[in-house]
Chain A
């Protein structure tokens, strides 16, 4: 059984069909990339998984559950974490606080024990901190631990967002353009990290990315989209040479 299944999903905004009869499956343990020109509906697919939008038709299944029954805040509980295209960090909090919010889905304490900071709340904080430290070590964020997000450079914010998503201890990680706006070195780092996330942590990665170098470097399978519909699905090489993909990007040879 696949980890994530889209079955004939359609989403309309008024007269605009953002996602059109889209079906694909993401297998456990793979890196699955979605590519396509601007406005193809790639980020909309992510927002559908995050339950920000209700599809017009179709089914989304995750790990055997009907994802459409979950609330937007309930998706994280299934072990789905995500990053955003235009970084959505908690600006006026430190890196550490941001990552600790990522631990929120593992919260066991209640309001009273937190206001009194009972030993159980303290234990939970120590556990959360330990998990977060592992992520900090993994993504080399030690130097920024106590820094406010609002003072951090763009490249670091991008990494912090991945770190916050990893702090939720996910099974499926959605990366929305992880390399956009990054320098060549930072993109290379990101590439190895994505590789490590899959290999060492065993997390399935679904990503939207424009950088074909990164896509062909890390992903097992690629889905090409245009105008909300599937163009091609296969290995990076297959998709890149697919005539429909070439046409969508470069136009028809006249």
Chain B
């Protein structure tokens, strides 16, 4: 077991434990950043998709994983960010202004939604936000002059410092753009978690009464959490729009909301790693399924006809399996495996025992 000998408070404040851990993450970053050299265009596109989902996951993680407010409506904010970005671009705003602005506008939209949502807890909040996601579909259709309605909108490449960044034309540049955004969001998230605001999110999640007694304004904290969460989702939505090129009211359906929530549950609620691990599962599962279907067909005979609903069926089964056997998600499983090796042979089964209900902020009400 690696024991870090602490001699300075900064060792707890800086994001990495020691030089070894920092090196590991830098190597990972270098390997991913070099992906265009070791991946073909198809898989580079898939990797880009995973990173975009991870950004969206980070957005929802702020709200659900760290503040304990379940949202089934984040597809609405993905859509908002996507349309805000495109509409600003069409108005002639340069991308470097339009893109951040799209996130900020989505954050403001989130605050507007948060004001009535603040009174709701647990399942009621989930239903409220789900309704929001369903409503967004209709709003996009009704606001046809702005959004293009059912016909949707199309977005070609954008220009950044004279470089053309286009999903199809220049996938490498687009990949780096997405990676850059993912990096910035992750760094901001890490900073948040080591500062008072991030801790107040956790406080609200784990016990509203005592958070209040410590001077944390519950309503305000939830509102900020909503704003940050929606802003990050807005950026993810904008990137999703650029990734798919064309989109309409059905692109960001309520199914996307559910998928997003499933993703962070599978990845592991309450951890940054969880958003990325969940995105890898959600992003690669469809490809994995179609590839394995071919193998199954080749080995056992039979056909490779698409089975409707197979993907969602398997997603559902994976989710049920995680909730039953590993509520801490993939990241929690990884922590357990790592601890098992670190402490071998002293690992105890109850080391990571925790209360069954993850979201228990409704107590004393």
Contact = CB atoms under 8 A, between A and B. Distances in A.
Nearest to A110: B197
A82 interface: yes
Interface stretch (B71-79, B142-150, B200-208): B200-208
Interface residues of B, number: 35
23 contacts: A50-B213, A75-B213, A75-B215, A82-B213, A84-B213, A90-B202, A90-B203, A90-B205, A93-B199, A93-B203, A101-B203, A101-B216, A114-B197, A115-B191, A115-B195, A117-B191, A121-B191, A125-B13, A125-B195, A129-B9, A129-B12, A164-B214, A168-B214
A207 B353 CA distance: 32
B210 interface: yes
Nearest to A52: B209
Nearest to A174: B213
Interface of B: 9-10, 12-13, 188, 191-192, 194-200, 202-203, 205-207, 209-218, 224, 270, 351, 353-355
Given A76-B214, A91-B355, A101 B199 contact: yes
A237 to B, nearest CB: 33
Interface residues of A, number: 46
B200 A92 contact: no
Interface in A30-88: 50, 52, 71-77, 81-82, 84, 88
B184 to A, nearest CB: 10
Shortest 7 CB-CB contacts between residues of A and residues of B: A76-B215, A114-B195, A105-B215, A90-B206, A88-B210, A117-B191, A73-B217
A32 B178 CA distance: 60
Given A84-B209, A104-B215, A122-B13, 12 more contacts: A71-B217, A75-B215, A76-B213, A84-B213, A92-B270, A97-B202, A100-B199, A101-B199, A105-B214, A114-B192, A125-B9, A126-B9
Interface of A: 50, 52, 71-77, 81-82, 84, 88-93, 96-97, 100-105, 107, 109, 111, 114-117, 121-122, 124-126, 128-130, 133, 150-151, 164, 168
